[in-house]
Amino acid sequence: MSLKEKTISEVENRIEKIERAIAKNGVGSNYLSKAERVQRDLNIGLALGGLALLAGATAWVLTSRDSK
């Protein structure tokens, strides 16, 4: 690796480290973490709802096919 590539890599690593520190401790970090938790909970809810819908539709199809 050349000196230029090493320098670019080191600068990018330092910038990412600073961005992580700002995201963790900076202005709006509480709001950001709360929004991430809400998004995670919403995604889990949608996944579970989709699975429940799929299981219900499968059960409905199987029971309607048996009664004919």
Q: How high is the pLDDT of residue 41? A: 97
pTM of this prediction? 0.55
CA distance 32 to 40: 12
Ranges in the chain, pLDDT < 50 = none
Q: How high is the pLDDT of residue 56? A: 96
Q: How high is the pLDDT of residue 65? A: 81
